Structure 1
Amino acid sequence: MIYTVTLNPSLDYIVRVDGMRLGTINRTAFEQILPGGKGVNVSIVLGNLGHGSRALGFTAGFTGSELERLCGEAGVDCDFIRVERGMTRINVKVKSDEETELNGRGPAITEEDVEALLAKLDGLGADDTLVLSGSVPACLPSDMYERLMLRVAGRGVRVVVDAERELLTRSLPHRPFLVKPNNHELGDIFGVTLSRRDEVVPYARRLQEQGAANVLVSMAGEGGVLVAQTGQVFESAAARGTVVNSVGAGDSSVAGFLAGLMETGSYEAAFRMALAAGSASAFSDHLATRAEVEALLSA
């Protein structure tokens, strides 16, 4: 079983406003509400690809109830901890001449809530994968990912980490199965600018030296690179298409990689599916479907 953890999930309220102006009333030309959060996105895409998962994390208030309802509609098995204070955040994404985001804070999570989440990991074993995605809210300790990884240590659980900067680097001594920075995040870690696929490889290997088994680097229009634990390096240009929305593309890549690896046992096939899933989400106003991924794989 694959378990995804989203510590601060959201309802994403997406609106399009033609010619938005500040300081006056604007009316929307389009709007939709979607379940949000990186781990939630991974679970949705896994389901679209035909693989079940269980979404863990924290929800609160009426917005949390709506998030769980929308996840259920998307076929996601939710097992969130219900938090008493505050509410699941609403992230407002305004699309106009420029894109603007207003991200909420989220609920107040206590140590008791954290312990309840940790307890849900006690049944995981060698056949399970734990996906840790996204940021840690300010109300939680900065070592939250490390605590989650330590809770499953020694049981053969494959841990995937998709996070920025210190969250990722501090996970490396715990030997994650996969880390997935993009090229900008990887460059930030080492204080360099990485714009070409060949530039990425030595820095991905440095993450391996620090503990990661596999390093998948997404590069938007430049495609991506996988440095596998076998020593193999796979790289590819991006698929051709019109980018509609990049939100969720990286999460889709994680889901595609896991689905491809489960289906074939091949790192190369997993890499190809990761890139196709990421591109399929970027080329659509929804998260990647199986048909869209297979269309790109066969193109």
Structure 2
Amino acid sequence: MIYTINFNPALDHYLTFDNFQEDKLNTPNLDYKLPGGKGINVSKILKNYSIDSTCLGFLGGFTGDFIETKIKEYGILSDFIKIKEDSRINIKINNNGIETEISGIAPKISEEKYTEFLTLLKSTIKDEDIIVLSGSLPKSLAQNAYGDIIESIPSSTKVILDTRGQAFLSAIKKGVFLVKPNIHELEEFFNKKFNSLEEIITSGKELQKMGATNVIISMGKEGSIFLTQDNIYIGNVPKGTLISSVGAGDSMVGGFIYGLSKQFSLEETYKFAIASGSATAFSQGLAKYETTLNLLSDITIKKYEVNR
């Protein structure tokens, strides 16, 4: 089974304006609300690809009720721990193509509720399951929470990690199957600016030494890099018109998991991940399966030869 961990899910409120102006009354020309958060996005992508997954984590208040109702409408399985405070609301503004996000304040998760979650996790996760640890951690949880999870589940579980900062550092040291930083997160983590492909690859190898079996580094319009235990691959970005980058990274993770579930080779899994992320970037909302398939022929994967 595939599980996505949602410590900090959100109600995402999307607003589109032709000409947003500060200090004035602004009326959007498009307004809609969706359940959000990186883990939920991964589960939604998988559902679009007819792959089942289960959302675990915490929900609270009227926003939590909205998120849970919408997830059920999508046909996604869930088993959330209920908390007292409202789940957060994120505001996503598109002002004539310029995207701005306002991240809501996370609700407090008590030690009692966190312990309840770990107990649920230990009784749920089985050998060979896939678990996605993605997104930010609420301030009420210690930054080693993802590391705690890895220690509490079977060692054969494939852990996919997509977070940043101390939460990333504590988890990768426990051993993970895949990490997927973008170039900005990578520079933030290593506190340096990369000036060449070789430097980026070297940093990816450092992540492998720290505990990641596989590493995908996304570089925007410059494509991406995939480091496995045996090879390094470079993938391009297929042709298309960027509509919104929101959820593209989560879609890449979802595409990668789809490849794993279908027992693709790692190279073909990587290719599908690129197509999945790109399909979301070229769409309103998250990628559909047909859209993703249509991009595969425009993606070229090249093996990068380098002294390892």
Fold agreement, TM-score > 0.5 = yes
Matched, 1:142 2:140: no
Q: Offset at 1:197? A: 4.5
Match of 2:114, as an amino acid? V
Q: Which residue is equivalent to 2:306? A: none
Matches within 5 A, 1:1-299: 1-84=1-84, 86-97=85-96, 98-122=98-122, 123-152=124-153, 154-194=154-194, 197-229=197-229, 231-299=230-298
Counterparts of 1:140 and 1:78, CA distance in 2: 21
Deviates further, 212-221 or 267-276: 212-221
Counterparts of 1:182 and 1:214, CA distance in 2: 14
Match of 1:127, as an amino acid? E
Q: Offset at 1:198? A: 4.4
Contact 1:214–1:228 (8 Å) recurs in 2: yes
- Aligned pairs, number: 296
Contact 1:124–1:155 (8 Å) recurs in 2: no
Match of 1:160, as an amino acid? I
Flag the 1:196–1:71 CA change in 2: closer, same or farther, 3 A: farther
What is the TM-score of this pair, normalised by structure 2? Answer: 0.92
Q: Could you list the runs of 5+ residues in structure 2 that have no partner in the other structure?
A: 299-308
Contact 1:197–1:235 (8 Å) recurs in 2: no
Contact 2:108–2:139 (8 Å) recurs in 1: no
Match of 1:280, as an amino acid? A
Q: Offset at 1:101? A: 2.2
Contact 1:108–1:139 (8 Å) recurs in 2: yes
Counterparts of 2:196 and 2:256, CA distance in 1: 21
The runs of 4+ residues in structure 1 deviating greater than 3 Å are 194-199
Counterparts of 2:196 and 2:135, CA distance in 1: 25
Contact 1:168–1:179 (8 Å) recurs in 2: no
Q: Offset at 1:255? A: 0.8
Flag the 1:282–1:120 CA change in 2: closer, same or farther, 3 A: same
Q: Offset at 1:75? A: 2.2
What do residues 185-204 of structure 1 show as CA deviations (whole Å, max 9, x unaligned)?
11222222236544421111
Q: Which residue is equivalent to 2:302? A: none
Calculate the aligned-residue CA RMSD, in Å: 1.4
Residue 185 of structure 2: SS of its match in structure 1?
Answer: helix
Identity of aligned residues (%): 38
Q: Offset at 1:176? A: 0.5
Q: Offset at 1:237? A: 1.2
Q: Could you list the runs of 5+ residues in structure 1 that have no partner in the other structure?
A: none
Contact 1:197–1:224 (8 Å) recurs in 2: no
Flag the 1:260–1:196 CA change in 2: closer, same or farther, 3 A: farther
Flag the 1:295–1:195 CA change in 2: closer, same or farther, 3 A: farther
Counterparts of 1:61 and 1:52, CA distance in 2: 26
Counterparts of 2:211 and 2:150, CA distance in 1: 13
What is the TM-score of this pair, normalised by structure 1? Answer: 0.95
Match of 2:239, as an amino acid? R
Match of 2:136, as an amino acid? S
Match of 1:288, as an amino acid? A
Contact 1:241–1:283 (8 Å) recurs in 2: yes
Counterparts of 1:248 and 1:105, CA distance in 2: 20
Counterparts of 1:3 and 1:236, CA distance in 2: 27
